[in-house]
């Protein structure tokens, strides 16, 4: 029965593509992981609007595995097009992760969505220092408490360094999206309960002129300086 469903879905995708009259967002929503090679091809040929619909649909589909799409979209950052390729890739990743890791979704459970995509999510975390979009960086920071392993702490350290750099460059001020990233980072390090982040939190509290950031950094530093 499963083989028949896989074959039928793949044939539907292929025949629609050949006919060149396809709602790829709708088909992506009904797809399963064995269809992903076709979806990757379609993504490469789609404009940004259609590609966004496809990525959001993959994040919402019943099959929780999105690893092949994550890998394909992330790899496009280094393709032709320079800055435009980076912008497109990061925009698509942010849209996909927003749907895939939405904590308000009941099914499949968030823990299952994270588990089956853990390898690809950890790879994204390993590359967080190269992420330009603060909103994508913040989305990745929010993943850290959901994963085990060393990729999370390394990613948080890289983000902390980024925030300190931006605070120094802006003489204590951050643009709004970087402010949101800073608050997500401070929340994540408090959950990590790792005193290695204490110096970064203390430095952020000292450098920032933004009251919410200062208060969050001080609270994080206090929590990390306590016993245990």
Q: Residue 105: what pLDDT?
A: 87
Contact predicate 223/190, CB 8 Å? yes
In this prediction, residue 21 carries a pLDDT of 56
pLDDT of residue 130: 92
Ranges of residues in the chain with a pLDDT under 50 are: 1-7, 18-19
> For 161-217, what is each residue's pLDDT tens digit?
999 999 999 999 999 999 999 999 999 999 998 999 999 999 999 999 999 999 999
Residues ≥6 apart with Cβ < 8 Å to 3 = none
Instruction: Classify residue 165 by burial, with Cβ atoms within 10 Å: 0-12, 13-18, 19+.
Output: exposed
Question: Which of 186, 195, 193 lies closest to 167, judged by CA?
Answer: 186
**Are 178 and 164 a contacting pair, CB within 8 Å?**
no
What is the reported pLDDT for 183?
97
Question: Are the C-beta atoms of 33 and 65 separated by less than 8 Å?
Answer: yes
- pTM value is 0.84
Compute the half-sphere exposure of residue 46: CA atoms within 13 Å on the CB side of its CA: 24
Residue 210: predicted pLDDT? 96
Contact between 64 and 108 under an 8 Å Cβ cutoff? The reply is yes
Q: Which two tokens stand for residue 176?
A: 């709004």
Amino acid 85: pLDDT: 87
pLDDT at 152: 93
Residue 23: the pLDDT is: 82
Angle, in degrees to the nearest 10, between helices 198-207 and 176-192: 150
What are the Cα distances from residue 57, in Å, to 23, 60, 92, 98?
A: 11, 5, 11, 11
What b/e sequence results for 95-132 when a residue is b if at least 16 CB atoms lie within 10 Å of its CB, and e otherwise? bbbebbbeeeeeeeebeebbebbbebbbebbeebeebe
């Amino acid at each position: 029965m499963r083989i028949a469903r896989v074959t039928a879905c793949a044939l539907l995708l292929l025949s629609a593509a050949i006919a060149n009259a396809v709602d790829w967002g709708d088909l992506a929503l009904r797809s399963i992981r064995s269809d992903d090679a076709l979806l990757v091809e379609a993504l490469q040929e789609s404009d940004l609007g259609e590609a966004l619909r496809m990525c959001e649909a993959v994040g919402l589909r019943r099959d929780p595995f999105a690893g092949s799409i994550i890998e394909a979209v992330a790899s496009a950052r280094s393709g032709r097009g320079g800055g435009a390729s980076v912008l497109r890739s990061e925009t698509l990743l942010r849209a996909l992760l927003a749907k895939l890791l939405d904590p308000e979704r009941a099914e499949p459970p968030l823990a299952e969505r994270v588990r089956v995509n853990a390898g690809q999510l950890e790879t994204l975390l390993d590359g967080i220092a190269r992420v330009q979009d603060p909103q994508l960086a913040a989305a990745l920071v929010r993943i850290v408490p959901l994963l085990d392993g060393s990729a999370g702490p390394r990613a948080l350290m890289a983000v902390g360094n980024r925030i300190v750099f931006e605070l120094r460059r802006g003489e204590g001020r951050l643009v709004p999206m970087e402010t949101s990233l800073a608050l997500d980072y401070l929340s994540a390090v408090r959950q990590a309960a790792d005193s290695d982040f204490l110096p970064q939190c203390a430095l952020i509290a000292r450098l920032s002129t933004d009251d919410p950031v200062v208060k969050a950094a001080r609270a994080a530093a206090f929590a990390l300086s306590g016993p245990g």
